[in-house]
Structure 1
Amino acid sequence: MLAIIPAAGFGKRMSGLTRGRAKELLPIHRRHMIDYALEEVIGAGISKLLIVISPRKEELKEHLTTEWSRRPPLLSFIYQNEPLGLADAIYRCRNYIENSMFAVLLPDNIFIGNPPLKSLIDVAKKYKKSVTSLIKVKDVEASYFGNCGGVEVSQYNGEIFEVKKLEDKKPGSFSTRGKPDVLRTFPRHIFTRELFEYIDRLRGKTEGEFDDVPVLQEMVREGKILGVLVRGKAFDVGSPEGYRHAESCLKSRR
């Protein structure tokens, strides 16, 4: 199986911390942010990895080729020359995908514990459907997550759910809306090649950057996505608040 890590975004929210560098190279508990994603890929037994970068992120490519080139997975790079959105970044990889399924993981979200990808792969192969990971977010930690990923689900089989609704991405922070905890998607996915058909269907129908959320919402409306509840500690490190929270939590776990 092949995995895709989209890493072409400029990370405007993190500019105060990055000072012009790639946010994926920010240190988190003695490692670079993107290293957590690569370790997940290795833990899932994935042999090939495509990393989508922009021409402004050559230092990221240099880090990866220097630190990871002698270890699996096999690394390849694809360029997204303009900030055209996450759906566009994934779509650029379509001709490199040989199998019927592939993984996508965002490096500005990190997971501590058993890597979610392995269990997602097992479910995707069993049910022949696209699968996303679900995490349980507590009210006291909701503000450290971006305001996206809210879902409505129905139980499918044990800790496997059918995703019935995916909420829009909005400004601000995530909220449990007064509940002690709620389910939320976490950006670890296994997709069938059917994803590209949905991207083709919606291309040109959205304003600005072509984000993945409208594509996933269309798939959800047609019953194409399952969710798997994953166990472990998840962090959204794509904002200064989330980044500092992750740093604090990981230091305290020593």
Structure 2
Amino acid sequence: MIKKGIILAGGMGTRMSPLTKAVNKQLLPIYDKPLIFYPLSILMLAKIKDILIIVNKGQLDQYKKLIPNGNKLGIKITYIEQDKPRGLPDAFVLGEKFIGKNNVAMILGDNFFYGQNLTAKLLDCAKIKSGAKVLLHSVQTPELFGVAKVNKNNKIVQLKEKPKKFISNNAITGLYFFDNKVVQYSKKLKPSKRGEVEIIDLLLKYKKNNKLSADFIGRGGAWLDTGSINDYYKTIAFVQAVENRQGFKIACIEEIALNNKWIGKKEINKSIKFYGICNYSKYLENLI
């Protein structure tokens, strides 16, 4: 099982400016919770307890006020500050010491996932021993994404970033599972024309060795990239609708920790005290 996870919560958030000039995008609210809770919940659902969060230089204190070290969740959280964005694979270079000899999952801090069978899928993906695995989701506008064409064994046979000609409508989401070779592969990547190392080039290294496979979120599941204003508000509306209709919370990190038996009633009470009088605390009270 993958035991290490990385959340990439840096970046400039320029698509959401001026909202992101003073506050990091991942600290903005998605309905009643900060955005960072959503990718964190995904790693926790995959039973990953050792998590590195990569943040922009100067924004560390804001994150530590919200999630100091993971103690109240029964997990370990480490932070690294990034002086400037150098591309997604740079996370594995920055996190080399954190990763050590382990396999690792990485999720982008602005990605939202939801689905009935998602937990089972995440646990299955986290079993990866060698190679790399990506999660794909069908989209109507594949030309806006990195896309993958797969064969009947779910091996990826073709990858293309924002293809002008139709290859497939399977977009590569911002959730990846890698073996330990990801560190040495990432170190060898050369920056693209835009001056950053590209995740597609990293995935191509695995594909070249026939070690890149895929899984699908599937119909009934949802994947949203909250990096633009329109998608950000679509995600808020989605979470609000589901939570108000069904009565449970998406990405309640304390509930996930409780269900995983990482924490008990004592830690839930500490969280209630930490959050103060609010609807989120009332929900936590109902859990115990």
Q: TM-score range by the shorter chain?
A: 0.7 to 0.9
Match of 2:230 in 1: 241
Choose which of 120, 123, 134 in structure 1 pairs with 2:125. Answer: 120
The answer on 1:64 being equivalent to 2:67 is: yes
Distance in 1, matches of 2:71 and 2:18, equals 30
Displacement after TM superposition at 1:37 (Å): 1.2
Q: Percent identity?
A: 24
The answer on 1:167 being equivalent to 2:160 is: yes
SS at 2:155 equivalent: strand
Displacement after TM superposition at 1:77 (Å): 0.8
- The code of the aligned residue for 2:26 comes to E
Match of 1:186 in 2: 173
Match of 2:189 in 1: 202
Distance in 2, matches of 1:198 and 1:206, equals 19
Displacement after TM superposition at 1:56 (Å): 2.8
Is the 8 Å Cα contact of residues 105 and 187 (structure 1) preserved in structure 2?
yes
Task: Give TM-score scaled by structure 2 length.
Answer: 0.73
1:14–1:205 CA distance, 2 compared to 1 (3 A): closer
Displacement after TM superposition at 1:207 (Å): 4.9
1:203–1:19 CA distance, 2 compared to 1 (3 A): closer
Distance in 1, matches of 2:21 and 2:161, equals 30
Query: What does the per-residue CA deviation read over 1:12-66, in whole Å, with 9 as the maximum and x for residues that have no partner?
Result: 1111333420100111121111101111122111120011112132213332218
Tell me, which stretches of 5 or more residues in structure 2 are unaligned?
A: 245-288
Match of 2:151 in 1: 154
Answer 1 or 2: which has greater strand percent. Answer: 1
Is the 8 Å Cα contact of residues 14 and 20 (structure 2) preserved in structure 1?
no
Quick check: 97-106 or 44-53, which moved more? 97-106
What is the number of residues matched between the two proteins? 235
Structure with max Cα Rg: 2
Q: How does 1:1-254 map to 2 (within 5 A)?
A: 1-58=3-60, 59-65=62-68, 68-113=70-115, 114-115=118-119, 116-122=121-127, 124-125=128-129, 128-137=130-139, 139=140, 142=141, 147-156=144-153, 161-169=154-162, 182-203=169-190, 207-231=194-218, 232-253=221-242, 254=244
Is the 8 Å Cα contact of residues 6 and 90 (structure 1) preserved in structure 2?
no
SS at 2:135 equivalent: strand
SS at 2:38 equivalent: helix
Displacement after TM superposition at 1:79 (Å): 1.8
Displacement after TM superposition at 1:190 (Å): 1.0
